[in-house]
Amino acid sequence: MKKAVVLAVLVLSGCGADGFPLRPIANLGFNVNEQGQVVRNCQVGGANETVQINVNC
Each residue's pLDDT tens digit, 16-47: 555 677 788 898 899 999 999 999 989 899 88
What does the pLDDT read at residue 17? 57
Residue 3 CA to chain centroid, in angstroms? 20
Does residue 9 or residue 53 have the better pLDDT?
A: 53
Q: Which pTM value belongs to this model? A: 0.48
